[in-house]
Structures are given as C-alpha cells and as structure tokens.
Amino acid sequence: MNIGQAAEASGVSAKMIRYYEEIALIKPPARSQSGYRVYGAEDVHTLHFVRRARSLGFSIEETGALLALWRDRSRASADVKAMALKHVAELEEKAAALKAMAKTLRHLASHCHGDARPDCPILDEIGA
C-alpha cells in the first residue's frame, strides 16, 4: 500500500504521515525499489491510533507516549489512566478559560445597545 492509500485508510493526510515519520513518531516504513513508502495493515492501525489520540486533544509528544504504552504489553493500566486523567484536567482547564472569556464578553455585549449610536461599553471596557 502506498502513502495515498494509507492516508485514505487511516484518515491521516499523506503530508502528516511523512511528518510523523520525520519526527520519529512512527517508524520509517519499507520502501519499494523506486523509493515509494510501502505500508501494511499494522502501519495503518498505528496511524489510526495516532489520529484518534490527536482528536482527543493529545499533543504529538503525548501521543508518542500513548503509542509506547499501547505497544508495551506489560504496561500498567494505572500509567495510562494517570495520563488520561491529567489530560482531562488540562482540557477542562482550557475549556473553562474559554468559557470565562465568553462569559465576560457576553456580559459586555449585553450592555451594548447595538444600534447606530457610537457609544459602546464593550470598547470602553476593553480600553479601560
């Protein structure tokens, strides 16, 4: 399977597959005689794992750690759970920060007439 098919099958773009290889997140695949990257089902599975981890908000570095745990048959599930819960906490922190911003801004907006007049508590407050 060439990189295009692997991308299609895993949901990871060809560009990203090459990048993940470059930064050593994934192993360099075999090459055909002409230099094309050749992937197998196992590789696609790994790529799919990476895609899922990324979609759960794990950084590439964290994804690498998860991959290592995934491949290590003797890992302790406690290690995985700890990583997951730490990440949950970070996600919730970021979400809370965004919601705080939204709340502040919504509050400011609620005091703004929103008509043709120029006076605007939103700008007043940001500038204060």
Partner DNA sequence: CTTGACCTTCCCATGATGGGAAGGTGTAGC
Partner DNA sequence: GCTACACCTTCCCATCATGGGAAGGTCAAG
Instruction: Count Cβ atoms below 10 Å from residue 124 Cβ, excluding itself.
Output: 12
- Who contacts 30 (Cβ-Cβ below 8 Å, separation ≥6)? 37, 38
Contacts to DNA by CB under 7 A: 2-5, 13-16, 18-19, 32-37, 54, 59-61
Of the pair 38, 100, the CB lying nearest a second copy is at: 100
Could you say which of a second copy, DNA, none residue 98 binds, taking C-beta under 5 to 8 angstroms by partner kind?
a second copy
End-to-end CA gap in the chain:
60
Q: Distance between CA 108 and CA 83 in Å, rounded? A: 38
Residues lying near a second copy in the complex (CB under 8 A) are found at: 45, 48-49, 52-53, 55-57, 66, 69-70, 72-78, 80-82, 84-85, 87-88, 91-92, 94-96, 98-99, 101-102, 104-106, 108-109, 112-120, 122-123, 125-127
